Structure 1
């Protein structure tokens, strides 16, 4: 970036849109980063930059590298001079301690709710919509921005909060509720995200026409698919967090049996942790709902 990475120039814009040829985001395709993926990372690291002096590889969910860690150790330990690794992990498991020792560690915390609200309001979002989006954004500005433009957020939140009152201990009720929730997850936030994708493609095509920039449609499509997958997982986490809060509220106000509500909170935490393994969403929801007590 000619301006030192201020986020305003054309280069920064392409990086932020995920279409810069010298910035690659590598995401796992299954429950864990595989050895084949690790080999692809090594191959990418060895390639020369296309435009600048540096190539940046962003490795996401690196705490799930498992048996692929040895394949990546050498290239991260001694990367080519032109390659910079940005390694993202929720935590550092034992098998990553050696790799972590070769890295400069920076700990990030979730953005506070009030800061999210003020940022959204400063961008022109209505304060009530900003507060509702910040409540369920999980400390992430990108998700808060998306939710702030989602007209169905309040209805989805209410649907998740109503789940404990629809359970009656029967498999039929569980199947019905799980199917409805899976449908909610499939459609949640898709409209504003699609609008964002269309705007990005139009901007890229305009630049290509005006300035002759190359448009790597495959790279753009891959970026958009990643965002859609992330949207589904974010929505499921949002739903589980909403459901968990409902049982916590029942514990506080005494409207639910203490032991069963505590077990419900634990079951929801386990389901949220299982999301790292890319489970079948409907089966995960069915298994969870069978463990949850009814709140009448």
Structure 2
């Protein structure tokens, strides 16, 4: 769903763009009538935090107007503009680079927090990807978040709360978001006409709770092939470094190929930027911001693909446990080996994703996994 799509449904159902998060929606809805100064929305990427922040901002604006006797049309306008991220009193900041930095972005937030609302009595500041804030940025934001002007409500969005952010998190009301359930993702994909009903479960599973990724994958005809490649990895393990090296090379090439559509879209962005600069005679108009965003999107894409692969491997080993025939010591050893593989995958997933050397990290992981089939043992 695009921002425009969200805006079209915002007036009738402000929370329709927030999928599969009934508890979070209930908490935010209850907060509208008497909001506190700051909220922290915590959950994985693609779980609907950004859409929820927009809906919450629109409801805060509409509620403030209702208390002054404003007409319903004005409330509808608040909701529509907030959903589009076009409301003059809703400021949304997404870090341009890999982290939220004090020098550029926090200074901008502090200035915005000091400004008087334009259209009403409320101002909402949404900070996306707060989990990337440097220690200096978090420290600089502490006082503005802790002691805002009476008209200001802060909404921080984070995938997790890091130790260096605990202090500022303690000043906020926390609202948790979980991965969007596969059934909900499949329902949305079918209702939006993005995939056929028989293909929706595959795409939903590949998205791993990320609705944004699910919409991207809806037009990716190679999802099934990539899942099959990861599924067959345990069949090709033989304990040798040569087999692992070949597998890792193939998997990384497959991820590179899957990112081709994203690369083409980025090229189109740069071409459009070149044309705008040529037309208006202005150079450097947001180029660094766009290039930083492209790098971030590429990193996120690879992270999502690796998570998809590791989840598929985990499902394969769990399937092996439930379908393993036979009894006795040998069967028990095979089941124990498969269980250890699932535990290894779960324990190493995040460290693998954060590793600066993707190839070496994948090789180390695959060398530690047991093969499947007759060769599965309790090593």
Answer whether TM exceeds 0.5 for this pair. Answer: yes
| Structure-2 change in CA distance of 1:220 and 1:263 (3 Å) | same
Whole-angstrom CA distance in 2 between matches of 1:27 and 1:271: 29
Q: Is the 8 A contact 2:255 2:302 kept in 1?
A: yes
1:147-296 residue pairs with structure 2 within 5 A? Answer: 147-191=217-261, 194-195=264-265, 198=268, 216-254=286-324, 257-275=334-352, 277-296=354-373
Structure 1, unmatched stretches of 5+, are 16-20, 210-214
**Partner residue, 1:107:** 176
Cα deviation, residue 242, structure 1: 0.3
Residue-by-residue CA offset, 1:192-216 (whole Å, 9 max, x unaligned): 674488489869x89xx9xxxxx74
Cα deviation, residue 225, structure 1: 3.1
Cα deviation, residue 182, structure 1: 1.5
Residue 173 of structure 2 corresponds to residue 96 of structure 1: no
1:60-79 residue pairs with structure 2 within 5 A? Answer: 60=129, 62=131, 69-78=138-147
Whole-angstrom CA distance in 2 between matches of 1:12 and 1:198: 26
TM-score normalised per structure 1:
0.76
Whole-angstrom CA distance in 2 between matches of 1:114 and 1:104: 29
The range that moved more, 80-89 or 219-228, is 80-89
Whole-angstrom CA distance in 1 between matches of 2:179 and 2:369: 29
Whole-angstrom CA distance in 2 between matches of 1:148 and 1:78: 44
Residue 200 of structure 2 corresponds to residue 130 of structure 1: yes
Q: Is the 8 A contact 1:28 1:60 kept in 2?
A: no
**Partner residue, 1:117:** 186
| Structure-2 change in CA distance of 1:12 and 1:228 (3 Å) | farther
Q: Is the 8 A contact 1:23 1:58 kept in 2?
A: yes
Larger-Rg structure: 2
The range that moved more, 258-267 or 141-150, is 258-267
Whole-angstrom CA distance in 2 between matches of 1:232 and 1:266: 22
**Partner residue, 1:26:** 95
Whole-angstrom CA distance in 1 between matches of 2:356 and 2:153: 32
Cα deviation, residue 84, structure 1: 6.0
**Partner residue, 2:110:** 46
Structure 2, unmatched stretches of 5+, are 1-57, 59-73, 280-284, 326-330, 374-379
**Partner residue, 1:18:** none
Matched residue SS, 1:287: helix
**Partner residue, 1:212:** none
Count of residue correspondences: 276
Q: Is the 8 A contact 2:321 2:338 kept in 1?
A: yes
| Structure-2 change in CA distance of 1:82 and 1:48 (3 Å) | farther
| Structure-2 change in CA distance of 1:71 and 1:113 (3 Å) | same
Matched residue SS, 2:322: helix
Matched residue SS, 1:88: strand
Residue-by-residue CA offset, 1:67-103 (whole Å, 9 max, x unaligned): 8744543343235789764423344455533312222
Whole-angstrom CA distance in 2 between matches of 1:278 and 1:79: 38
